[in-house]
């Protein structure tokens, strides 16, 4: 399911279509199509983004900053960072291992395995939260054991981290698998034949080949990890200053008449999203350059 969010490095030169009489439309068709699609884009994507910043700053800079340095907001930011710092590297390690096994070897049930890895993409976030309540809740399979041993999972940080890992599970793997499949195994095999160890081959041959895709997988994974709402909401318990992540804090403040404050925290998340897109564009640009250098060399 992740194919839709792969890096795409195709040619971006529309001029070749517009200058070719066989592939161009009349001007009024062109501008109508652009007009419709851009209006749609502005209405559905751009305006919601603008409104976040507008509402956030409606009461001025000072109110904006006050909303962000409030202790509960700080604690939410801290928890969100913590969850991402734990979840992203774990899924990175998983993604690399899974991609190595799937892209470089043949084994029965491979496509089924890919489907299973995709599963968290299509499971509703609410269900994702529910499953951890079922396992670790007081009435769940392991819940009473954990609670008797004074280990909190649900309604505490570990539960939030688990739910985050679940929803971001496939990102890195799905980014790497197609890239590493396309790469084939010739380079790695050559390297091992020349006497490099498995790890050496991996670090010096495989990783440099897929580094942009890897980076892209990581930033997407991170964006989702910091922004997850549904799954985290089910396992959080909503304790102010303790188990509220940024998106949950937004919801709580929103329901306390503090509209501008909710949008202030939301604007931080929106900035994170924009930053993700900027990095993505940069990666695409670098990867396209690298591809060009390769083909020129």
Nearer to other proteins, 64 or 297 (CB): 64
Nearer to other proteins, 150 or 296 (CB): 150
Measured in degrees and rounded to the nearest 5, phi and psi for residue 239 equal -80, 120
Residue from 28, 105, 195, 294 touching other proteins (CB under 8 A): that is 105
| CB of residue 227 to other proteins, shortest distance in Å | 3
Angle at alpha carbon of residue 218, lines to 96 and 77, rounded to 5° = 135
Closest Cα partner for 176 from 226, 108, 101, 109? 101
Residue from 176, 221, 228, 287 touching other proteins (CB under 8 A): that is 228
Contact 210, 176 (CB under 8 A): yes
| CB of residue 211 to other proteins, shortest distance in Å | 18
Residues 50-89 that bind other proteins (CB under 8 A): 51-52, 55, 61-62, 65-66, 68-69, 71, 74-75, 77-78, 81
Structure tokens, 15: 């001029």
**Three-state DSSP state, 53:** helix
Contact 217, 95 (CB under 8 A): yes
Structure tokens, 105: 């070897």
| CB of residue 282 to other proteins, shortest distance in Å | 10
Q: Which residue has the tokens 């960072």?
A: 81
Nearer to other proteins, 237 or 290 (CB): 237
Structure tokens, 37: 């699609």
| CB of residue 213 to other proteins, shortest distance in Å | 13
Q: Is 150 left (phi over 0), alpha (psi -120 to 50) or beta?
A: left
| CB of residue 131 to other proteins, shortest distance in Å | 4
- Using CB under 8 A, count the residues that bind other proteins: 155
Residues 156-195 that bind other proteins (CB under 8 A): 162, 165-166, 169, 178, 181-182, 184-185, 188-189, 192-193
Question: What string marks each residue from 253 to 292 as x (binds other proteins by CB under 8 A) or -?
Answer: -xxxx-x--xx--x--xx-xxx-xxx-xx-----------
Residue from 234, 264, 283, 287 touching other proteins (CB under 8 A): that is 234
Stretch that binds other proteins, among 109-117, 207-215, 289-297 (CB under 8 A): 109-117
Contact 292, 96 (CB under 8 A): no
Please state, in angstroms and rounded to a whole number, the distance separating the CA atoms of residues 238 and 189. Answer: 52
């Amino acid at each position: 399911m992740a194919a839709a969010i792969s890096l795409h490095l195709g040619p971006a030169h529309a001029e070749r279509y517009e200058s070719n009489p066989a592939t161009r439309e009349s001007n009024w068709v062109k501008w109508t199509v652009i007009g419709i699609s851009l209006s749609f884009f502005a209405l559905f994507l751009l305006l919601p983004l603008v409104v976040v910043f507008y509402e956030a700053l409606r009461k001025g800079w000072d109110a904006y900053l006050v909303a962000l340095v409030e202790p509960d907001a700080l604690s939410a930011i801290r928890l969100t960072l913590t969850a991402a710092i734990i979840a992203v590297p774990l899924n990175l390690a998983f993604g690399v291992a899974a991609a190595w096994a799937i892209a470089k070897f043949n084994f029965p049930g491979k496509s089924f395995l890919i489907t299973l890895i995709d599963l968290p993409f299509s499971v509703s976030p609410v269900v994702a939260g529910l499953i951890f309540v079922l396992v670790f809740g007081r009435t769940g399979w392991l819940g009473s054991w954990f609670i008797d041993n004074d280990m909190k999972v649900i309604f505490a940080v570990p539960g939030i981290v688990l739910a985050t890992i679940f929803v971001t599970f496939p990102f890195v793997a799905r980014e790497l698998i197609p890239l590493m499949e396309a790469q084939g195994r010739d380079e790695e095999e050559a390297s091992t034949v020349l006497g490099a160890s498995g790890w050496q081959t991996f670090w010096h041959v495989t990783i440099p080949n897929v580094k942009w895709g890897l980076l892209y997988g990581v930033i997407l994974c991170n964006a989702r990890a910091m922004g997850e709402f549904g799954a985290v909401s089910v396992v959080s318990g909503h304790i102010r200053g303790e188990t509220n992540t940024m998106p949950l804090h937004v919801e709580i403040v929103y329901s306390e008449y503090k509209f501008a404050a909710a949008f202030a925290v939301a604007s931080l998340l929106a900035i994170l999203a924009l930053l993700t897109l900027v990095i993505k564009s940069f990666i695409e640009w670098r990867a396209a350059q690298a591809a060009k250098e390769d083909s020129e060399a």
